[in-house]
Amino acid sequence: TCEPTGNLVHRETIVPKGASFVGTPAYPDRDFLASRDTWFRPVNICDGFDGALYVVDMYRAVIEHPQFMPDELKERPDLWLGNDRGRIYRIVPADWQRPTAKPQLAQLASLELVKLLERPSCWWRETASRLLNERQDTSVVPALVELARSGATPQARVGALWVLRGMDALDAALVNAKLLDPHPRVREQAVVLSEPLLDADDAVRKRVSGLGMTEAAGEQPDERLRFQVALSLGGNNDPLTDEVLARIAVNGVDDVWTRRAVLTATPDHAARVLEKALRMGRRNRSENQLALVEELSHIVGARRNADEIAALLKLPLEGSIGVALVNGLAGGMRNTVRLSMFAETASKQHPELADYVKSWFEQAAAIAANAEQDFAARCEACDLLGQASYDMAAPVLLAIIDGDQSNDLRRRALAAFATERDERVGRALVERLAAQTPAMRSAIFDALLMNPERLTLLLDEIEAGRVRAGELGTLRANRIVEYRNSAIQQRAKKLLASAIPADRAKALADYQEVLTLKGDPRRGKEVFRKNCSTCHKLGDVGVDVGPSIAFVPKKTPEQMLVDILQPSKAIDNNYTSYSVVTTDGNAYTGIIAAETASSVTLKLPEGKVLSLLRTEIEELRSNGISLMPEGLERNVSKQDMADVISFVKNWRYLDSGVPASTVTGK
């Protein structure tokens, strides 16, 4: 892959994993191709007919899409440097020999092109295949059929099959034969080519189905082939298809792409596939097994067919598998009706449904509250409790939110609690805001924005000064001021507009003159070093404590001036200042960099890091403001401000990498 901004070409070694692949760097300590010349901009790679690898080097001083550049940078003098240059590198093996002649494939007879499908180089095979498809010379069909049946390489056999398809000369007998090819990649392509035949040809359909059942027969499985069978059988209503898809789902449960292939194939018979999968006996409660059950039952729930749902709930399931099933059913119908209400409505047809659902809610509460249960099972149980009554769900979910559980489990419990429609939810969330860390505060804000009653409580907190409007962030603030409820909209506009202290508004108005001054980025570098480097880093200056400003150049000077003078106006919640008081009386102020069930890590100014056990913390409270201090202008003159803005926007270009011979005369 080309990395033009890094002046290199990277190579990964690709190996199969499941239905897809994983890559690892081919070399542990270097890249395939790299240059110290910062103008080296590799943008494309292709194979050549001669066995060489060709790399296209755009060769430019600046490589940037104009959409991502601020207007003032589009006029930089070095922006166009190199537009009269460029290279193509040819990379060859050590024993490479230059070909004596260029290929003239267009002049070859069609039968000669068929022979080229056996060449090891993909350039020759692909070019020959294209020319054969363009010519549509059906006189070579017998040769192509023979090559497809007995070609020496799998690439040749696959190539012949696809050329026959392009000539509309591929018959069911040949496809059926290739479904038994010794190479799995040929069988995989034969499955793709079989799709137009599946509805009409019983022999082809049964053979494709058999490829999905290979593990049942004790044959060596091929995960990519199994994946393709699931995709190709999608929509087929043969009763055998349900059994095949269920077996593919169970055997491929640990591969997310295989599960997705099964899901796309089962919109009308997900209940039958799920029931068969559950009866196959692999109930190991792994995270992926739970995911499969929930994904398939989600489709069943979305169909809201009482007969299908009742049949699944009657199955003798237990523990987390049952919770995952019921959770999926609830999730599938969530946008139209809650599971408990659906069970009551369907009680005339299936009177036992309501009891089944209540029983599963009780089991979910027991699993979620049990710290001995595995993480995946507790998460599933929390999700399901979001569909239970407040009185059943609240004690368990709030205990997890308030406890010393893992952060992921606490967020899962919070998300489930937020789906409750009881009016007590909003008050419970507001009461917990002050003591929460950034990720949880952010999630609570989102939960409070879900309906007007909760949003009113949040506005009360802002009005009382217990929550600062700047903590909400720009996106949430915009959502609130554009809220569909006119009363909330008007109140929000007033509260959020007054979030900027008067002195900050005055400072911004006073410093508008900065925008008319010419800044010097080199002087600005020293201003930055003196005033900003304790929390921000650009190039070799400063330390990373606050949010990265490496890409601030995309902002206009006007936006940057606002960010500097009103740092708490639209602060990212991950960079809100927190105050911590320890049990021995020490106080610290910083940004929460990490948190676990047992500890909190603070980033302090000047790059210092402090890790504290939760047992060492007496009080942890959000200050609701940026760690960046207000009033910076007291130490920075207007000219200094213009200089530092210029430095932040231009720091990448202070040490020019432009070759002297090219700069001359420019």
* The predicted structure's pLDDT at residue 657: 47
- The span from the CA of 167 to the CA of 172, in Å, is 14
According to DSSP, residue 39 is labeled: T
Return phi, psi of residue 540, to 5°.
-100, 15
The tokens for 238 are 């043969």
* The predicted structure's pLDDT at residue 468: 81
Strand partners, 603: 591, 609
Burial letters 239-275, b for 16+ CB under 10 A, else e:
eebbbbbbbbbbbbbebbbbbebbbebbeebbbbbbb
| pLDDT over threshold 80, residue 399 | yes
Q: Torsion over CA of 95, 101, 105 and 107, rounded to 10 degrees?
A: -160
* The predicted structure's pLDDT at residue 499: 53
Query: Which residue in the block uniquely carries the two structure tokens 């399901």?
Result: 384
Mean pLDDT of 429-442: 83
- The span from the CA of 222 to the CA of 211, in Å, is 9
* The predicted structure's pLDDT at residue 605: 67
**DSSP code per residue over 243-270:** HHHHHHHHHTTT-HHHHHHHHHH-TTTH
C-alpha 55 chain-centroid distance: 30
Collapsed DSSP state (helix, strand, coil) of residue 434: coil
- The span from the CA of 105 to the CA of 558, in Å, is 60
* The predicted structure's pLDDT at residue 655: 59
Find the helix packing angle between 424-432 and 407-418, rounded to 10°. 150
**Residue 664 corresponds to which amino acid?**
T
- Give yes or no for a contact between 204 and 172, defined as CB atoms under 8 angstroms apart: yes
Strand partners, 8: 3, 34
* The predicted structure's pLDDT at residue 578: 79
Q: Give the closest residue to 397 by CA, choosing from 386, 406, 408, 387.
A: 386
Mean pLDDT of 613-629: 72
pLDDT in tens, 187-205: 999 999 999 999 889 999 9
Portion of the chain with pLDDT greater than 70, in percent:
87
| pLDDT over threshold 90, residue 603 | no
The tokens for 213 are 């059942």
pTM: 0.70
Query: Which residue in the block uniquely carries the two structure tokens 């213009």?
Result: 642
Strand partners, 580: 588, 620
Higher pLDDT, 148 or 341: 148
The tokens for 175 are 């496809």
Residues 6+ apart with CB under 8 A from 427: 457
Taking residue 118's Cβ as centre, other Cβ atoms within 10 Å add up to 18
**Residue 375 corresponds to which amino acid?**
F
- Give yes or no for a contact between 63 and 652, defined as CB atoms under 8 angstroms apart: no
Encode 76-144 in three state secondary structure.
Answer: CCCCCCCCCCCEEEEECCCCCCCCCCCCCHHHCCHHHHHHHCCCCCHHHHHHHHHHHHHHCCHHHHHHH
- Give yes or no for a contact between 434 and 443, defined as CB atoms under 8 angstroms apart: no
Residues 6+ apart with CB under 8 A from 527: 636, 640, 641, 643, 644, 647
Q: Which of 76-85, 466-475, 514-523 has the highest mean pLDDT?
A: 514-523
| pLDDT over threshold 60, residue 469 | yes
* The predicted structure's pLDDT at residue 22: 95
* The predicted structure's pLDDT at residue 661: 41
Q: Give the closest residue to 354 by CA, choosing from 389, 395, 404.
A: 389
Mean pLDDT of 133-146: 97
| pLDDT over threshold 70, residue 45 | yes
Query: Which residue in the block uniquely carries the two structure tokens 């249960």?
Result: 373
Q: Which of 56-65, 117-126, 619-628 has the highest mean pLDDT?
A: 117-126
Higher pLDDT, 633 or 275: 275
Lowest-pLDDT choice from 66-80, 139-153, 511-525: 66-80
- How does residue 150 score in pLDDT terms, banded at 50, 70 and 90? very high
| pLDDT over threshold 90, residue 163 | yes
Strand partners, 116: none
**Residue 51 corresponds to which amino acid?**
G
| pLDDT over threshold 50, residue 498 | yes
| pLDDT over threshold 90, residue 648 | no
Handedness of CA 524, 530, 533, 537 (dihedral sign): positive
Mean pLDDT of 212-239: 80
What share of residues in the chain are helix, strand, coil (percent, to 5)?
55, 10, 35
The tokens for 227 are 């994946």
Strand partners, 541: 538
- The span from the CA of 226 to the CA of 209, in Å, is 10
**Distances from the Cα of 132 to the Cα of 88, 142, 410, angstroms:** 30, 14, 61
* The predicted structure's pLDDT at residue 128: 97
Mean pLDDT of 86-101: 93
Mean pLDDT of 377-405: 88
Encode 625-660 in three state secondary structure.
Answer: EECCCCCHHHCCCHHHHHHHHHHHHHHHHCCCCCCH
* The predicted structure's pLDDT at residue 579: 78
- Give yes or no for a contact between 617 and 490, defined as CB atoms under 8 angstroms apart: no
- How does residue 665 score in pLDDT terms, banded at 50, 70 and 90? very low
Q: Give the closest residue to 514 by CA, choosing from 469, 559, 457.
A: 559
* The predicted structure's pLDDT at residue 658: 44
* The predicted structure's pLDDT at residue 625: 65
| pLDDT over threshold 50, residue 216 | no
Q: Across all residues in the chain, what is the average pLDDT?
A: 84
Collapsed DSSP state (helix, strand, coil) of residue 29: coil
Strand partners, 214: none
Q: Give the closest residue to 158 by CA, choosing from 133, 125, 198, 203.
A: 125
Mean pLDDT of 291-318: 89
- The span from the CA of 508 to the CA of 450, in Å, is 34
Q: Which of 1-15, 537-551, 589-603 has the highest mean pLDDT?
A: 1-15
Higher pLDDT, 648 or 543: 648
- How does residue 555 score in pLDDT terms, banded at 50, 70 and 90? confident
Collapsed DSSP state (helix, strand, coil) of residue 318: coil
* The predicted structure's pLDDT at residue 653: 67
Q: Give the closest residue to 36 by CA, choosing from 562, 452, 657.
A: 657
Query: Which residue in the block uniquely carries the two structure tokens 């059994």?
Result: 243
Mean pLDDT of 307-322: 86
Q: Length of the chain in residues, anyone?
A: 666
The tokens for 450 are 């879900």
Burial of 7 (0-12, 13-18, 19+ CB in 10 A): buried
